[in-house]
Amino acid sequence: MHEMSITQGLLNMALEHAGGRRITSIHLRVGRMSPVVPSSVELFFEYLSKGTLAEGAALHWEMQPVEMTCTDCGRQADLSEWADDAPQMLMARALARGCACGSRRLRVTGGVAFGMASIEVADDG
């Protein structure tokens, strides 16, 4: 993953949404399975936003849990007991246990995305 280009894309999107107003904060959603590293995005954002209307904006991160769904019965697996485990470990455990219907065909259906949820802009500009 190239965090720099991801961050540039994010910045462009935020500036477009702001429509010429100054951005004070950006809310992001990142899945626990997403390869995006928040600390890298923070660093690139600070660098890339210099001189733009997003300079100094705070980034708020909302972590999205991993979701797995049974491909046989469509039930969503309850992964809450492993929520604090590393995503790969959580997946391995979920696959080992399988679904309540007896199937072991679970597929990741959530927690992989990265995106902007909303932005906040200043009233002064």
Q: Is there binding between residue 103 and Zn ion (CB under 5 A)?
A: yes
What is the x/- site pattern for Zn ion, positions 71-100, by CB under 5 A?
Answer: -xx-x-----------------------x-
CB of 55 to Zn ion, least distance (A): 49
Q: Do 61 and 38 contact (CB within 8 A), yes or no?
A: yes
Q: Which of 10, 41, 66, 70 binds Zn ion (CB under 5 A)?
A: 70
Q: Dihedral (C-alpha) 33, 34, 40, 45: value to the nearest 10 degrees? A: -140
Contacts of 9 (CB under 8 A, 6+ apart): none
Q: Which of 1, 83, 86, 101 binds Zn ion (CB under 5 A)?
A: 101
